[in-house]
Structure 1
Amino acid sequence: MEEATSYPPIEPSNFDLIVIGTGLPESILASAASAVGKTVLHLDPNPFYGTHYASLPLNDLISFLQSQSQSQSQTLTDGYTSSSSSIPLMTCPMYFALEVNSYFSEPNIDDNSRKFNLDLAGPRVFLCSDSMIDLILKTGINQYMEFKSVDSSFVSDAQGKLRSVPDSRSAIFKDGTLSLPEKNQLMKFFKLVQGHFGNDNDEDKISQQDLESPFVEFLSKMGLSHKLKSIILYAIALADYDQDNLEVCKDVINTKSGINRLALYHSSIGRSVLVFVFQFGPVHQLYVCNAIQEGYRFPNANGAIIYPIYGQGELPQAFCRRAAVKGCIYVLRMPIVSVLMDKDGGTYKGVKLVSGQELFSPDLIIAPSFVIPSPLAPSAAQVASSHDVSLTDARRMVARGICITKNSMKTEVANNLVFFPPKSLYPEQITSVRVLQLSSNVAACPSGIFVTYLSAMCDNEVEGKKSLNSAIKALFSVPISGNSENCATDSLHTQAKPSLLWSALYMQELTKFHGAFDSISYTPMPDEHLHYNHLLDATEKLFKEIYPNEEFFPMASGASDEHVDDNGSELDS
């Protein structure tokens, strides 16, 4: 068995928890389990951390997308062992319909591939007051990360013009595109929302009937214009679907949810001082989170929205480093060929590695890019290829895009968000398109280059790519058939839009898998949202299901965690 000699043995062979995949949910769960004293083994067949939440160099990104968009599921067949039955662990394609286009031979792209840090699951940002930021500070992993502000947000109007999002009192007064009545309407509405949360007087509260009504109807009731409603719904409350068409809208936001999102956004504006006091112990003693010093600030990140330097892939890596401090063992480049099941009871026992070694644990957590076919299914290949493993919402999709340009879409802004509400690109557009442009000051790309991420919910590939291509054409000058002269000519008629140098479009199906066996849990896959709140909620819920009597990241009562020794608790074959 020559292959096995290249893989060092893992010791010990028994753990409280084995985790496969180093994506964000898996990394959070490994860190949370380690924090409550569980012995954890964290495995990943990839040579990098983050799996589908990674930030990769350009060439590595293309290779990974191509490998993950194969038409056939892959498996390493394994047979029976002396004491247990073995079910192959299969890889499940996450992406499909990948299109990569290179329009120019640009030295900054071709010769600097490794200077890109491109997010697989973009666009994604943090609101300064959201639950993920709270967890980052509570756990102390902010010491491993740096952030910068996303400078501005824009929303497209019905004429295709990008206008600043008036998200604060000062922004409203400075906005020259709003009429005086619109400014008064918006100020009055924001004051109403503030009064609902900040006053105990029931007269200042929004009625229960209004809270349960569709948010778009409440905005109309408040007398807001169509333009203001569009800004609030799609650029602040981050609605995905057309809220004006309630008959076909797949996710109607009610007023309670809408104003909660509005309050989260407003509480994030200018939140540069971050102090949290947490309740701990049976006598309700108060402790300040060890990771946060009073008056702690995110350097260079003073706005409502921030982004991590070196990309979103820094987040799972930071949780992995914290888990390593607590004793979690990490092994990259380690394929797992099968899951071991007890012959008599059909219950999970452990995993078998490509090296032939068998490892055991009472619980197993698996990233959604892997599938354990049920033994009752007709065949393993049919199960994996059809995703027939207790799936739900199989037809919900998100179209994702990555674009590289030479110039910024707004000359005065390096990092910014753009929102295209439904119907702003074409009449049949039923979902919003979100766009995030990043520059070299967050180490997303080489100097003089800009990276733009796009995403849109959709029901099929045609619809999704139409939305993304429409947004790309609205923002950039796109060459025709790769002809740079066409690009230059087109720019003269489009107010010198940035020239598109390179793009990649791909589809992701938002399938939800549930374990077919006890003690085996699937983590959530990258979702359609701009921030991590939904994903974090699902991850914490999964932790509680596995460990109902344990606290999700308990507060430390002593000194803060020691810094990670990068060579300490990691076995990287």
Structure 2
Amino acid sequence: MEGKKVLHIDKNSYYGGDVTSVNIDSLFQYFNVETDISKYHRAKDWNVDLVSKFLMANGKLVQILVHTGVTRYLEFRSVEGSYVYHSGCVYKVPCNESEALSTKLMDLFEKRRFRKLLVWSMNVDVDNPSTWNYVYPPPMDIKKDTISHAFSSFNINKETQNFIGHAICLFQDDSYKESVPAIEVISRMQLYSQSVCRFGKSPYLYPLYGLGELPQAFARLCAVYGGTYMLNKPIDELVMEKGRVVGVKSDNKIAKCGMVICDPSYVPTMVKKVDQVVRAICILTHPIAEVQNSLSTQIIIPQSEVNRKHDIYISCVSHQHNACPENFFVAHVATIVETSSPEKELEPGLALLGTIEQVFYSVQDLFVPTDDGRESRVFISSSYDASTHFESTCADVLDLYERIVGKPFELNKLKRYEEVNE
């Protein structure tokens, strides 16, 4: 990276940390559950993520993967469907003019209003005020004023605002309506539509054999460029001098360095807990009926639909992505913890899955760094959130890059997307 030498030390015996993929034997061992494993067929046919995430097909993470060349070690396949929960039913998320007019998510008049907003947003060019100033007339500015004005201008009702903000733009709460510039919301709407256009089913991609393939692919790429990767290597401490990191101590040996990049688990004194996430990994023997029996899908339950402060996220994959044998499915349900009974908070999502063969629950703390790293040269990522997409994680990575290198990562100079395998 930027001419630096890389020593990658992992305290675990496997790649990926929290986003590793495990076989069925390891899954039951990880959660200390005993069962007759033979009914799940061959262990090697299972690749179950401990944390589930999809990639936006036209998103920044895919562009970064292409830029680094790591895609030579990966194969992606599209996810079949993207859905949103509303008033007790599950609907496909409409993202173009025809779907806006045919969806059963809203009544006829609201469909027309939503379509007008969608058409307008798809044509917005931030550098061409003529594409947006009839909705945001001077002195208003799409780069400063919020999307609430556009919602009001197009008479978009609260329910439609909810699915736009949460199922299309992937915001995790409603603060975006008052705190985020309208152009960011519009850009997210454009990204969703552009991503769907790549493959025509949903905006999401998922790697064959699970998310664990991503860190393994980067490890291979690291080796190609002279990096060193060490698994199962415990970290004793960071060696600091005058508030700045100068080395990493492991097994009483010190590797000298000019900076450290790590997740919160390596530096507990330099992070703070901000939330908890509760997750359920579910083994199914049937597809999810609510989504037309798709072999892979995402469902978002907006917070307002179940009287919560945070959305509930559901993802499901199958043999289509080599995540499990045929006739099995792996579903994940996750949300931010709001009560003293976190498992019960997942019930609206679990109810959509039908009969569950086996479920594994976990509750994990979410950490953010208290040090930006500019002085200490210790750069710490945030924990993985409850969402089923990588957008927030990618934003965190790009922010890390800018703090490390001192300049933004220039996505506009990346290679062509078509290098990614369909």
Q: TM-score, normalised by structure 2?
A: 0.84
**Contact kept in structure 2, 1:543 and 1:552, CA below 8 Å:** no
Tell me, yes or no, if structure 1 residue 470 matches structure 2 residue 369: no
The equivalences for 1:161-310 within 5 A come to 161-176=89-104, 178-197=106-125, 200=128, 202=130, 204-205=132-133, 206-207=135-136, 208=140, 212=144, 215=147, 218-241=150-173, 243=174, 255-271=182-198, 303-310=202-209
How many Å apart are 1:251 and its aligned residue? 8.6
Q: What is the percentage of aligned positions where both structures have the same residue?
A: 23
Q: Tell me the alpha carbon deviations over residues 164-223 of structure 1, each in whole angstroms, 9 at most, x when there is no partner.
A: 222222323443565432332222111111232289352643413676555456424412
1:45 aligns with 2:11: yes
Deviation, structure 1 residue 65: 6.0
The higher-RCO structure (CA 8 Å, 6+ apart) is 1
Q: Name the structure 1 match of 2:398.
A: 540
- Aligned partner of 1:332 in structure 2 is 231
Partner amino acid, structure 1, of 2:393: L
The alignment's C-alpha RMSD in Å is 3.3
Contact 1:210 1:218 in 2 (8 A): no
Unaligned stretches of 5+ residues in structure 1: 1-32, 67-99, 273-300, 372-386, 477-497, 558-573
d(CA) in 2 for partners of 1:346, 1:209: 43
Q: Following the alignment from structure 2 to structure 1, what is the Cα–Cα distance between the partners of residues 59 and 142?
A: 25
CA drift of 1:396 comes to: 2.1
One-letter amino acid matched to 2:184: S
Give the C-alpha shift of residue 156 in structure 1: 1.6
Residue 350 of structure 2 aligns to a residue whose secondary structure is helix
| TM-score, length of structure 1 as denominator length | 0.64
Query: Where do 5+ consecutive residues of structure 2 fail to align?
Result: 416-422
| Counterpart-to-counterpart distance in 2, 1:45 and 1:436 | 29
Maintained 8 Å contact 2:124/2:131: no
Equivalent residues of 1:429, 1:467 under 8 A apart:
no
Query: CA contact under 8 A between 1:403 and 1:453: conserved in structure 2?
Result: yes
Q: How far apart, CA to CA, are the structure 1 residues paired with 2:414 and 2:166?
A: 39
| Alpha-carbon shift at residue 329 of structure 1 (Å) | 0.9
Q: Deviations over 1:505-550 (max 9, x none)?
A: 2222221134598233323322344332332333233334333379
Quick check: which has more Rg, 1 or 2? 1
* Partner of residue 82, structure 1: none
Q: How far, CA to CA, are the matches of 1:362 and 1:503 in structure 2?
A: 44
1:509 aligned onto 2:408: no
Match for 2:363: what amino acid?
A: M
Aligned to 2:63, which of 131, 134, 156? Answer: 134
- Does residue 1:119 correspond to 2:49, yes or no? yes
Query: What secondary structure is seen at the aligned counterpart in 1 of 2:332?
Result: strand
* Partner Cα distance (2:84, 2:68) in 1: 35
Q: Describe the SS at the equivalent of 2:198.
A: coil
Match of residue 442 from structure 1: 321
CA distance in 2, matches of 1:200, 1:254: 16
Q: How does 1:345-364 map to 2 (within 5 A)?
A: 345=242, 347-354=244-251, 356-364=252-260
Amino acid at match of 1:518: S
TM-superposed deviation, 1:135: 0.9
Q: Distance in 2 between matches of 1:229 and 1:551?
A: 32
Q: Tell me the number of residue pairs that the alignment of Structure 1 and Structure 2 aligns.
A: 407
Tell me, yes or no, if the aligned pair for 1:401 and 1:454 is still in contact at 8 Å.
yes
